[in-house]
């Protein structure tokens, strides 16, 4: 339980930032008049439309329908909470005494709602009215048992459910391990599910380990869906059980998935029915068939995706299916539409991981020259991981890549072209003209020469830092390739990795710089000088090499060395690890690879 003092402070400070939003002041699942406000009481206040009278310590005059939970706290439930009116539940975080989510990496500081009993968390239902439940920056943890509920291991939805920057895990049910969506109800009302920038993992069900929906009304984008399980092979992890009565009204985007990564799930992954569109997905290393295509009315599509290494076959195509299949990189999904056919991948080593696993550390070009994908990994201080495409050294021109610039651009002349999604999984926007785009969830980007790196030193120290964060989606060239690409070293020396060049800009050289293939830089001062060594680190990457006139990425570098302060306790390091001259300036410009190549 949150201490009363913390609850009051949160109430006061959050009140300034969020107006009359309802602040939950205890993590316990209580419903009694003790002046604390629990999550259950806050939702019931909204359900009752209690107004200025409040309800058991929650709400009051001018209260909104937004409920605030404190980030990084766990709120336990003993049984599900009914949601009968539209509401929003979200996390807020403390930064220097202010409550806000603006300075946080969304998804990393979530409040957790945990089921202690054997039940789902929320049942969203109002048979008479269509309601909206918006859940932001929340971790939703299921009961962890073999089954938490018959329908919806975490959420039963009979309304419009929207999830953003959230994590759904440990849900279990007969239908809908994470979410069950009820389809049509009331006076021709329709339930729907929207999932953005979220992680759905370790949920299980007999049918619909991730989502069971009676009708194809959902939207999933910029998310990761992994390690979920569906035991009934006639069903799927994302399972649409039925179809609307009037097929003439169906559009190909009633249900849509885009710019997302799906890996290591068990059971058929998705049954593709009329009204569904899949675009720019990375679907790899799932234990069973990825897609079962069963859209007989030609109102479904699968486009611009990477679908590889899934069970014994990537796709199962039913006899009556008429899904539009365009321009995917596949192993066994057929050739696709004749005008925009699939590309069949015939390689054997998909992931640049030492055991060809789909998750782990990406190998460099000295360790692996053939794999077209890095394994799934989560970058430091990020919420979602991704699978990065590799631009191989065997690609003489960028067109040799089976991924980069292989997506279909939007075509105003040919309305049947399925163009790339507007943004990739990391929310990087594709070019406005959409002339080029990439297959899969990730749009490959390259850096521009706009970054400042370096370090502050005390006399006798050696600078060590990494330029890897500034390489974008590129890899450094191995030194063995440098003479072939840029010719002999100007000074007659042997090349270092990255075809490293050091160009002094404002000072004489005052030290020696070395680099390895991972981008780790070591700078050793040649004496105990006092001041700065200012120069450029220039390296060649797997993507910048295609620009024959400007193959080098340029990083402005500044090393500052100062004498030790002999007055201070020598056991206290006063510098050594600090970034120099006002700190490291992250100015990585992210642009489409094709734009870089035009310079």
Phi and psi at residue 91, to the nearest 5°? -90, 150
**pLDDT higher than threshold 80 for residue 367:** yes
Which two structure tokens, joined as six digits, stand for 365? Answer: 């070009």
pLDDT tens digits for 507-538?
A: 999 999 999 999 999 999 999 999 999 999 99
Coil, strand or helix: which one is 47? Answer: helix
- Round the average pLDDT of the chain to a whole number and report it: 89
User: Measured between alpha carbons, how far is residue 270 from residues 103, 283, 329 in Å?
Assistant: 36, 11, 17
Tell whether pTM > 0.85.
yes
DSSP annotation of 249 reads G
413 pLDDT band, cuts 50/70/90, is: low
- Structure-block tokens of residue 312: 């014994």
What is the Cα–Cα distance from 397 to 406, expressed in whole angstroms? 13
Query: Which DSSP symbol is given to 158?
Result: E
Closest CA to 141 of 108, 112, 177: 112
Section 261-271 average pLDDT:
98
What confidence tier does 184 reach under pLDDT thresholds 50, 70, 90? Answer: confident
Q: Could you tell me which residue, 4 or 478, shows the higher pLDDT?
A: 478
The mean-pLDDT minimum among 79-93, 122-136, 268-282, 435-449 falls in: 435-449
Residues 360-370 have a mean pLDDT of 97
Contact 26, 70 (CB under 8 A): no
Higher pLDDT, 103 or 298: 298
What is the pLDDT, as a whole number, of residue 584? 34
Q: Where are the alpha helices (DSSP H) in 160-311?
A: none
Q: List pLDDT tens digits, range 10-55.
A: 444 444 445 689 999 999 999 999 889 999 999 999 999 998 899 9
- Is residue 560 within 8 Å of residue 581, measured between CB atoms? yes
Q: Residues near 227 by Cβ (< 8 Å), separated by ≥ 6?
A: 201, 202, 264, 265
To which H or E segment does residue 16 belong? helix 4-18
Provide the H-helix boundaries in 452-585: 482-486
Question: Would you place residue 431 in the very low, low, confident or very high pLDDT band (cuts 50, 70, 90)?
Answer: low
Count of Cβ atoms closer than 10 Å to residue 16 Cβ: 9
Q: For residues 525, 526, 532 and 538, what is the CA-based torsion angle, rounded to 10 degrees? A: -70
Residues 6 or more apart whose Cβ sits within 8 Å of residue 31:
38, 40, 41, 44, 56
Residue 412: the pLDDT is 55
449 vs 315 pLDDT, higher one: 315
The answer to which of 7-11, 249-253, 488-492, 553-557 has the lowest mean pLDDT is: 7-11
CA 134 to chain centroid: 19
Q: Are 90 and 127 in contact (CB under 8 A)?
A: no
Residue closest to 328 by CA, chosen among 340, 338, 311, 313: 340
The side-by-side arrangement of strands in the sheet containing 463-466 is: 463-466, 520-525, 511-515
The more confident residue out of 582 and 181 is 181
> In this structure, what DSSP letter does residue 595 have?
H
pLDDT (0 to 100) of residue 570: 39
- The torsion angles phi and psi of 22, rounded to 5 degrees, stand at -90, 120
> Does position 427 have pLDDT exceeding 50, yes or no?
yes
d(CA 10, CA 92): 10
Distance, CA of 194 to CA of 210 (rounded, Å):
13
Q: Are 490 and 550 in contact (CB under 8 A)?
A: no
Give strand pairing partners of 22: 67
Tallying the residues shown for the chain, one arrives at 599
Over its C-alpha atoms, the chain yields an Rg (Å, rounded) of 27
Percent of the chain with pLDDT over 90: 77
Q: Whose CA is closest to 455, among 546, 595, 580?
A: 580
CATH code of domain 451-562: 2.60.40.10
pLDDT higher than threshold 80 for residue 462: yes
* Each residue's pLDDT tens digit, 82-95: 999 999 999 998 65
- pLDDT bucket at 58, cuts 50 / 70 / 90: very high
Q: What is the pLDDT of residues 549-572, one digit of tens each?
A: 999 999 999 999 999 876 554 333
Using an 8 Å Cβ cutoff, are 35 and 14 in contact? no
Q: What is the pLDDT of residue 416?
A: 80
Query: What secondary structure does DSSP assign to 445-491, as a single string?
Result: EE--S-EEEEEEEETT--EEEE-GGGSTT--BPPGGGHHHHH-S-TT
């Amino acid at each position: 339980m949150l201490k009363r003092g913390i609850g009051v402070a949160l109430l006061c400070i959050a009140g300034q930032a969020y107006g009359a939003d309802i602040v939950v002041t205890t993590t316990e699942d209580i419903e009694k008049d003790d002046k604390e406000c629990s999550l259950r009481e806050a939702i019931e206040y909204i359900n009752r439309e209690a107004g200025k009278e409040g309800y058991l310590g929650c709400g009051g005059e001018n209260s909104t329908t937004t409920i605030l939970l404190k980030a990084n706290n766990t709120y336990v439930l003993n049984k599900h909470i009914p949601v009968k009116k539209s509401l929003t539940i979200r996390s807020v975080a403390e930064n220097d005494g202010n409550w806000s989510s603006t300075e946080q990496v969304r998804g990393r500081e979530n409040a957790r709602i945990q089921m202690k009993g054997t039940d789902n968390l929320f049942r969203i239902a109002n048979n008479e009215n269509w309601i909206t439940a918006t859940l932001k920056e929340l971790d939703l943890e299921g009961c962890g048992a073999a089954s938490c509920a018959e329908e919806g291991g975490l959420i039963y939805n009979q309304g419009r459910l929207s999830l953003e920057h959230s994590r759904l895990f440990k849900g279990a049910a007969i239908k809908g391990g994470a979410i069950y969506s009820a389809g049509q109800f009331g006076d021709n009302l329709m339930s729907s599910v929207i999932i953005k920038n979220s992680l759905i993992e370790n949920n299980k069900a007999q049918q619909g380990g991730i989502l069971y929906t009676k009708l194809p009304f959902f939207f999933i984008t910029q998310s990761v869906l992994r390690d979920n399980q569906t035991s009934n092979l006639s069903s799927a992890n994302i399972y649409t059980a039925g179809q609307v009565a009037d097929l003439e009204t169906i559009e190909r985007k009633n249900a849509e998935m885009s710019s997302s990564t799906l890996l290591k799930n068990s059971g058929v992954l998705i049954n593709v029915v009329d009204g569904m569109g899949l675009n720019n997905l990375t679907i790899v290393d799932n234990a069973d068939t990825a897609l079962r295509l069963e859209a007989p009315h030609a109102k479904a599509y699968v486009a611009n995706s990477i679908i590889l290494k899934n069970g014994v076959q990537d796709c199962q195509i039913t006899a009556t299916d008429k899904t539009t299949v365009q321009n995917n990189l596949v192993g066994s999904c057929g050739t696709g539409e004749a005008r925009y056919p699939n590309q069949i991948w015939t390689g054997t080593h998909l992931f640049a991981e030492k055991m060809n696993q789909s998750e782990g550390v990406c190998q460099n070009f000295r360790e692996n020259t053939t794999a077209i994908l890095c394994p799934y990994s989560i970058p430091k201080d990020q919420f979602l991981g991704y699978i990065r495409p590799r631009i191989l050294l065997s690609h003489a021109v960028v067109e040799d890549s089976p991924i980069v610039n292989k997506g279909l651009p939007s075509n105003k002349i040919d309305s049947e072209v399925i163009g790339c999604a507007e943004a990739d999984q990391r929310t990087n926007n594709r070019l406005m003209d959409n002339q080029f785009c990439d297959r899969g969830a990730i749009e490959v980007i390259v850096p521009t020469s706009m970054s400042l790196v370096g370090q502050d030193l005390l006399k006798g120290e050696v600078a060590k830092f990494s330029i890897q964060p500034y390489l974008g989606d590129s890899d450094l060239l191995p030194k063995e390739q440098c003479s072939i690409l840029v010719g002999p070293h100007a000074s007659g020396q042997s090349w270092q990795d990255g075809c490293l060049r050091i160009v002094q800009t404002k000072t004489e050289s005052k030290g020696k710089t070395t680099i390895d293939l991972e981008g780790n830089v070591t700078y050793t001062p040649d004496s105990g000088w006092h001041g700065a060594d200012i120069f450029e680190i220039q390296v060649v990457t797997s993507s910048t090499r295609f620009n024959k006139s400007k193959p080098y990425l340029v990083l402005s570098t500044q090393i500052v060395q100062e004498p030790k302060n002999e007055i201070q306790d020598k056991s206290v390091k006063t510098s050594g690890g600090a970034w120099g001259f006002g700190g490291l300036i992250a100015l990585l410009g992210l642009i489409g690879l094709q734009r870089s190549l035009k310079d």
